[in-house]
Amino acid sequence: MDSRLPADFDPQQVSLFLDKVAEDCDTELREIAANRDAEIARIRGDAHVESRRLFRHSAEQLRTRLVLEQSRYLARVRSDLRRQQWEILTESQQRVLEAVSDRFRKAWEDPQGQWEWCRYWLALARERAGDNALRVILGQGALENVRASIEKKISDHAAGASVIIDTQADPGICIEWSDYMMDGRLASQNTAITDAVLSRLSDMLLEQNERSSQ
């Protein structure tokens, strides 16, 4: 499967959306980290003041107690931070799945969007198929005029080509030659984009966890 997207298939809107998801997630993580750092600073400040005030009265015992309390608090804060981070990741994942799927579906239902999608995969397939015959399969929702346009566009393919609409297949396009299949179905591309976004979000969470452990 080729995970790239058609250059003309609404790329700017999809890219802007993914950037917004990552930006929102990063903002939430920064707020969590800022609140954690502020609370830790307050705890340490209170401990310092308390230690000085009671220095003459079992100072060593007090310091030991304060260090223990601070350690317990830091462990709890870090645990809460990790939990909140993974909640953000889960919510972001769902937003990506729903929004990207919705964008693809709407574009596939639009005649021009459907044609741009198919034309992209068709051009890529012709580059790679060489002298092999092409078999083009359009999935659910494919328009007859798009099928006819594809048929016309590849009519000069030396090895021959066929184009069919399979109403039982997933929306999108698959192109077969020899023993290879190029997968341009919408669901497959949804998965590829989602994996890329989750990788970005996971990297952000890892950076935040590394900061919190310092």
pLDDT digits (tens, 9 = 90+) for 60-71: 666 676 677 777
Q: CA dihedral in degrees (25, 27, 32, 38; nearest 10)?
A: 170
Give the C-alpha separation, 50 to 8, whole Å. Answer: 65
The answer to pTM > 0.75 is no
pLDDT in tens, 1-50: 444 454 344 444 555 556 666 676 667 767 777 777 777 777 667 666 66
What confidence score (pLDDT) does residue 212 get?
A: 52
What confidence score (pLDDT) does residue 214 get?
A: 53
Q: What is the DSSP letter of 7?
A: T
What confidence score (pLDDT) does residue 47 get?
A: 63
What confidence score (pLDDT) does residue 170 get?
A: 93
| Separation in Å, CA 38 to CA 12, 15, 45, 74, 82 | 38, 34, 10, 12, 17
Which sign does the torsion angle of CA 183, 20, 86, 207 carry?
A: positive
Select from 6, 192, 203 the least CA-distant residue to 96.
192
Give the C-alpha separation, 23 to 12, whole Å. Answer: 16
- DSSP string spanning 16-43? HHHHHHHHHHHHHHHHHHHHHHHHHHHH
What confidence score (pLDDT) does residue 25 get?
A: 66
What confidence score (pLDDT) does residue 78 get?
A: 73
| pLDDT under 50: residue ranges of the chain | 1-4, 6-12
